[in-house]
Chains A and B, each alone.
Chain A
Amino acid sequence: MPIKSSDITPEVLFRQRRRMLGIGLASLSLPLAGSWFGDTEELNNNIDNVTPGAIVQPELKATELKIINSYNNYYEFGFSKEAPSGAEKTLITSPWSVEVGGIGADKPGIYDIAELHGEYGIENHIRRFRCVEAWSMVVPWNGIALAKVIKAAQPNSKAKYVRFETLHDEQQMPNANWAGGPYIEGLTIAEAIHPLAMLATGIYDKPLEQQTGAPVRLVVPWKYGFKYAKSIVRIDLVERMPRNTWWRQNPNEYGFYANVNPQFDHPRWSQATERVVGGFGRQKTLLFNGYADEVAYLYPDLGDRRYFY
């Protein structure tokens, strides 16, 4: 049985969410957490109603581009924060194609970046970015709504999860094999069609750099940074929960959902506060990285630890 989101979302929160999303997500019977999507038509309707532009955050002060481009985690190009930006520019980002497919896609396709832009239009969103290592930035992304790409693939009833795969090429990446294979990330289908989820291709109206995940990366602002798969070459709609790289690396410390929550500490450090990169002092971390009003309905039990690591 599908559970109505209004059944599990406190009324106030739910109304706030609808206000925030404006006319988006008209359907009130959004299935939860991607565990159930009985009706493909309903899924497609939901995607149609995604209006990412409805969520604006004018109050955020974006981090300088210089900082965004020089403080990175991209293990394929080195393990320190400085290594990825210092690495030789060996990644060939043009031509580039993203293959969209999987058992849950009735209409697989191969896209290049220009096609993605041309077809879906570029959106600009300033979003908080919170790394699992307890530092944060504010990034003005340019990109497209992930929901639109998923919609184009015509998801069927087997599309329960979305699996993202990063390029895996020893010639182009000095540490291509650090995790023993390509970097994998995943979302539930409900998360993936959420208006906050985007495929970013630029920052500050400039194309992504090698170290920030050129030419296209995932952006899911309510989750920890390791979920933002970089340099994506494949997007698959799949039936089973993908085993994402960090989960595989250390299942006691990293899981699938990885939603930001100041109350649920990492086994070895606190998530209560964060350092704003480039600044001084620390600030308090917010539930779902400040996007609780928009995304809390996706997670039926906020006390469930699985959602937060």
Chain B
Amino acid sequence: MDLRRVLWLIHLGMIIFVGWQGVMAMQAADLVTYLRDVSGRTASYLLLGTLLFAPLSRLWPRLRLYIKVRRYLGLWGFCMVLIHVIVWVSLEFAFDWSLMWQEVNDNLFIWLGLVALILLLPMAVTSNNKAVRRLGFRRWQGLHSVAYLIVPLSLGHYFMAQKVASGEPIVLLLVLLLLMFWRFKYAD
């Protein structure tokens, strides 16, 4: 399939997904937790997904033609994190900054999320061709390898937010572990 069509489908899919989740959230028992959790989870999938490109395109070299898909997965992941945090700041904490600060300090898992968010910012800002050109490919690539820090932080955050060690974050963490293993083995 032609790359432009794939990108178009991704955007359309995400827009429909966001709208649909908005409708679901209105029907949920608790709007705030629903929005916060669904955006957080979607962000984790998308961010982890970006790291799958390197190993998969080694398996299927044709995937390299679609490398741009990775950029948009990352950007959509960033959008989801923004929604996640905006929900937290506005609906959950009603802009009570001192209470939020206390909450951040009391919760290691929120610290992990916050660090992940901060590291995501420069990546999101430089996810365009102009930035690649301005920075030069090597430096740009160096900057974007921060993803290998962001994803473990996000998944650690997800894992720790649960009452009990639960299946989904563990599966995601295992996928990540495999990925990292591959990364070190075949680093080029």
Q: What is A's interface to B at a CB cutoff of 8 Å?
A: 66-67, 70-71, 79, 81-82, 85, 132-133, 135, 249-250, 265, 268-270, 272-273, 275, 277-278, 280-282
A250 CA to B163 CA, complexed, in Å: 10
Instruction: Select A278's contact among B30, B103, B106, beta carbons within 8 Å.
Output: B30
| Mask of B28-66 contacts with A, CB within 8 angstroms, 1/0 | 111111000000000000000000000000000000000
A-B interface contact total, Cβ < 8 Å = 64
Q: Which residues of B contact A268 (CB under 8 A)?
A: 107-109, 160-161
By a beta-carbon cutoff of 8 Å, the part of chain B in contact with chain A is: 28-33, 91-94, 96, 99, 102-103, 106-109, 160-161, 163-164, 166
- CB-CB under 8 A for A275 and B92, given A268-B107, A268-B160, A269-B107: yes
For B24, give the chain A residue with the smallest CB separation.
Answer: A82
Closest A-B pairs by Cβ, 4 of them: A270-B106, A71-B29, A281-B94, A70-B29
Kindly list chain B residues whose C-beta atoms are within 8 Å of the C-beta of A71.
Answer: 29-30
Residues of A within 8 A of B102 (CB): 270, 272-273
CB pair A250–B164 under 8 Å, yes or no, is: yes
Residues of B within 8 A of A275 (CB): 30, 32-33, 92
A-B contact pairs, 22 of them (CB 8 A): A67-B30, A70-B28, A70-B29, A79-B166, A82-B29, A85-B29, A132-B163, A133-B163, A135-B33, A250-B164, A268-B108, A269-B109, A272-B103, A273-B99, A275-B30, A275-B32, A275-B92, A277-B33, A280-B94, A281-B93, A281-B96, A282-B99
Question: Of B32, B108, B164, which one neighbours A280 at CB under 8 angstroms?
Answer: B32
| Given A132-B163, A270-B107, 7 other A-B residues pairs in contact with their CB atoms under 8 A | A71-B29, A81-B30, A269-B161, A275-B30, A277-B29, A278-B29, A280-B92
Docked pose: A278 CA to B28 CA in angstroms? 9
Closest to A277 in B: B30
- Determine the chain B residues whose CB is within 8 A of the CB of A70 once the complex forms: 28-29
